[in-house]
Structure 1
Amino acid sequence: MNLQNTSHPDRQGSDELVPSRYALRIGEIDVLVVSDGVLPLPTAMLAHNADPAVRAAWLDDMFLPPDAFDWPLNVVVVSSGRQTILIDAGLGLDPDLHLPRAGQLIKRLEAAGIDLAAVTDVVLTHMHMDHIGGLLVDGVKDRLHPDLRIHVAAAEVKFWEAPDFSHVSMPPGFPDALRAAAKRFRKEYDSQLLLFEEEYEVAPGVVVSRTGGHTPGHSVVRLASGGDRLMFAGDAVFPVGFEHPDWHNGFEHDPEEAARVRVRLMQELAATSELLVATHMPFPSVGRVAVAGDAFRWVPVFWDY
């Protein structure tokens, strides 16, 4: 499947007025970033350990609203060799959370001409609901290939047997929804899970590595081909984390370790100049990391038309 051919919207597609997919190549690997939509969340979740006045000043500097704003949701489809790999699966549909602008992945894959049955592998950076929910949408499992392989860190699966929410700072309802989604996911897909400990090569040039921090089994996916490199960092990186990598995100189950992971990854990205894509960076979330004094700077790529 050549994902480069999916970057241009078909005339029979939706009437959305904003782009929702962006194609690029990493050497011989085709990559498609797909927006799963956005979900509104309290701005306090960006940095629940920060001084509220300092956090408010950062939001004002970024021209963001003070109380709540739309978090982007990005998913990546990769074609390497004969494998088509879905990295994370978006939010899906949870009517109890009232998030109508999220959970767009399945229809946007269809609009891009990607057949769910052609997906050979799924890689999960972790098992939060906004990364597994698309696989739980009614009818999706029946459309997937029966031999689909789902790769996830063993530590992640173990964590969700009895998850610890004592260090998070989430809106009401989210912990219960996350627990329920993870439990349902295990019930639906347990027989298709392929667990790895620290690192695993999913396809030529596609390697998933456990980082921990955000969740115990949180992982990143590194693509490398022909001298080009890209990292999909999942939830290790958030927009505020460049200037304030020590600020704790409300969804982090181990905030201190998550901050250490964030700094380590961004130091690596700044040193190598490789491309970065992350779940909650503004779409299309393709850019590089530069060092800015004691912090970092996000450098988005120029769109390639």
Structure 2
Amino acid sequence: MNLHNASLKSKPEELVPSRYAVRIGEIDVLVVSDGVLPLPTTMLAHNADPASRASWLKDMFLPPDAFDWALNAVMVRSGDKTILIDAGLGSDPNLHLPRAGQLIKRLESAGIDLASVTDLVLTHLHMDHVGGLLVDGVKDRLRKDLRIHVAAAELKFWEAPDFTHTNMPQGFPDALRAAARQFVKMYGSQIRPFDAQHEVAPGVIVRRTGGHTPGHSVVRVASGGDALTFAGDAVFAVGFDQPEWHNGFEHDPEEAARVRVRLLRDLAESGELLVATHMPFPSVGHVAIAGDAFRWVPVFWDY
């Protein structure tokens, strides 16, 4: 019997896992996949020599022109708080990205009621991090007293965003502007801006790093001697052995590289876990030092 066909005939919800649970001391963490974004490989390193970029892709067994970027969000339960970190892409039919925007459906399949979310942390306001909030009907399912935590610098930036140092496919800048504007309009009364850092719940601290966007932030979860950092878009798969390569979505690429190196160095020294938006799902792993660069060490999955 062809097992793949047999699986298809039984119509399972999904053929691949889309959530992964981690316990950090007394805090529950759930990494949830929002799907994948097919993007040009030049977006990984638009300042790199094309031959060097092609060599890296070949060494990683990745296609030369475009491949699927993972898109991960995180749920955290600490004390009486249930915190969603980033909200996925949602639905933007003009960008033709049908395999992303799965977060709401996958939270439901995990038994998570949107009404149980007490706090939302946004690493930044790019549409693949806020778009899930803009889907029809989602706001009505969220709590009226939901607290949304965003760096004040991020809100200021999107009043008149600068795209002069980015390198994005056509249509993306307009879509990003529109999504950020719509988010602020819809949720402005629930936004709780912070400056440098803010404790969202016991052991859950969001900290502004800047770089990727001026208000880009990371979230550290710590309890009982364990810790995990959700790095948002501070780190991409190419950023370990080539941390100086610029990602096409970075609004300040040079500062983003400095942020990336500092973060990776700190995580390599501490040995704490790292999760990032665009690392391959579930993106849970450690950072090691490899000569003058860094090395990604995925965890062995815990069943």
Q: TM-score range by the shorter chain?
A: over 0.9
Please name the residue that 2:36 is paired with: 38
Residue 141 in 1 paired to residue 139 in 2?
A: yes
Which of 277, 291, 295 is 2:293 aligned to? Answer: 295
Please name the residue that 1:220 is paired with: 218
Please name the residue that 1:99 is paired with: 97
Q: Counterpart of 1:77 in structure 2: which amino acid?
A: M
Alpha-carbon distance in structure 2 between the residues aligned to 1:56 and 1:226: 43
- Deviation of the 1:24 alpha carbon: 1.0
Percent sequence identity is 80
Residue 81 in 1 paired to residue 79 in 2?
A: yes
Partner deviation per Cα, 1:81-106 (whole Å, 9 max, x = no partner): 00000000000000000000000000
- Deviation of the 1:13 alpha carbon: 9.5
In the superposition, the TM-score normalised over structure 1's length comes to: 0.96
Alpha-carbon distance in structure 2 between the residues aligned to 1:226 and 1:203: 15
Alpha-carbon distance in structure 2 between the residues aligned to 1:296 and 1:174: 30
Please name the residue that 2:148 is paired with: 150
In the superposition, the TM-score normalised over structure 2's length comes to: 0.96
Alpha-carbon distance in structure 2 between the residues aligned to 1:88 and 1:162: 22
Q: Aligned with 1:163: secondary structure?
A: coil
Alpha-carbon distance in structure 1 between the residues aligned to 2:68 and 2:126: 18
Alpha-carbon distance in structure 2 between the residues aligned to 1:128 and 1:71: 15
Residue 22 in 1 paired to residue 56 in 2?
A: no
Q: Counterpart of 1:105 in structure 2: which amino acid?
A: L
Alpha-carbon distance in structure 2 between the residues aligned to 1:268 and 1:221: 14
Spell out the pairing of 1:191-230 with structure 2 (5 A cutoff): 191-230=189-228
Alpha-carbon distance in structure 2 between the residues aligned to 1:259 and 1:14: 42
Alpha-carbon distance in structure 1 between the residues aligned to 2:200 and 2:99: 31
Residue 166 in 1 paired to residue 164 in 2?
A: yes
Alpha-carbon distance in structure 1 between the residues aligned to 2:177 and 2:22: 35
Q: Aligned with 1:262: secondary structure?
A: helix
Residue 235 in 1 paired to residue 233 in 2?
A: yes
Q: Aligned with 1:252: secondary structure?
A: coil
Partner deviation per Cα, 1:141-178 (whole Å, 9 max, x = no partner): 00000000000000000000000000000000000000
Residue 113 in 1 paired to residue 106 in 2?
A: no
Residue 304 in 1 paired to residue 302 in 2?
A: yes
Instruction: Structure 1: give runs of 5+ residues left out of the alignment.
Output: 1-11
- Deviation of the 1:15 alpha carbon: 2.3
Please name the residue that 1:176 is paired with: 174
Q: Aligned with 1:170: secondary structure?
A: coil
Cα RMSD after superposing both structures: 0.9
Q: Counterpart of 1:278 in structure 2: which amino acid?
A: A
Alpha-carbon distance in structure 1 between the residues aligned to 2:99 and 2:20: 19
Alpha-carbon distance in structure 1 between the residues aligned to 2:160 and 2:32: 31
Q: Counterpart of 1:289 in structure 2: which amino acid?
A: V
